[in-house]
Chain A
């Protein structure tokens, strides 16, 4: 069980949250200039690293807000939590 530090509600149990997959996925554009490969990559392909991964999480049973989590996919250690619209440097939380 993870203890996730919601930026608004504080530390809460993992069962209150839903993981929304990889964060910082950029939509290609302008739309008429995006190739089929770029569009397919945007829709279907995601990184699957062994190590630090940036993810979107939703505090579904709490404040209902989305935020970003940097989590190690091997150890589950959370190294950084930051709000939507914010960025952190690679490995900044570790």
Chain B
């Protein structure tokens, strides 16, 4: 169990969202954790830790209240409500495990949701990915560049026919990322 005496600073993100008719950026109030597994059978270890099969390459899966996002071989991002992520971290308890590590990284990241019919055009100006339907389906994920910083991007279910993306950046780059997306 995490020590309740140690409270990580969770200052509000310095970034600000915006709402326009064809584009909206919202700061998402979710907790984030990272799971890293070393060794040749990382997927098998993932299954023994979580009780579920890992998400396929470049995909995310929703299991109960948590979303498991593939980041790299042996590396996953876990997104969800604060309580759900804390409960998962407490239950996985990998403190004595030499080949696996699960960490709460909420304090170091900012999650955005970018929605709207202009979302792809705005992202195309700052990111080298092809985010159109044919190559980036719902629940596809990628780690890539957003301007001068890096991001994890996941496509969420469309909203009213408009694409919706979750974008996770380092918290220190969140204000920059929001400015870049606002500038279009």
Interface residues of A (CB under 8 A from B): 8-10, 12-13, 15-16, 61-65
Contacts and interface: CB of A to CB of B under 8 A. Distances in A.
A65 B72 CA distance: 8
A9 B128 contact: no
Size range of the chain B interface in the assembly: 10 to 19
A61 B72 CA distance: 11
Given A9-B58, A15-B128, A16-B128, A62 B73 contact: no
Instruction: Describe A's contact surface by its main secondary structure.
Output: loop
Contact of B72 (A10, A12, A16, A63): A63
A10 to B, nearest CB: 7
Given A8-B72, A13-B128, A16-B128, A62 B142 contact: yes
Interface stretch (B2-10, B22-30, B143-151): B143-151
Given A8-B72, A63-B72, A63-B73, A16 B57 contact: no
Contacts of A64: 72, 75
Interface in B34-88: 57-58, 71-73, 75
19 contacts: A8-B73, A9-B57, A9-B143, A12-B128, A12-B144, A15-B128, A15-B145, A16-B145, A61-B143, A61-B144, A61-B145, A62-B72, A62-B144, A63-B73, A63-B143, A64-B72, A64-B75, A65-B72, A65-B73
A9 B142 contact: yes
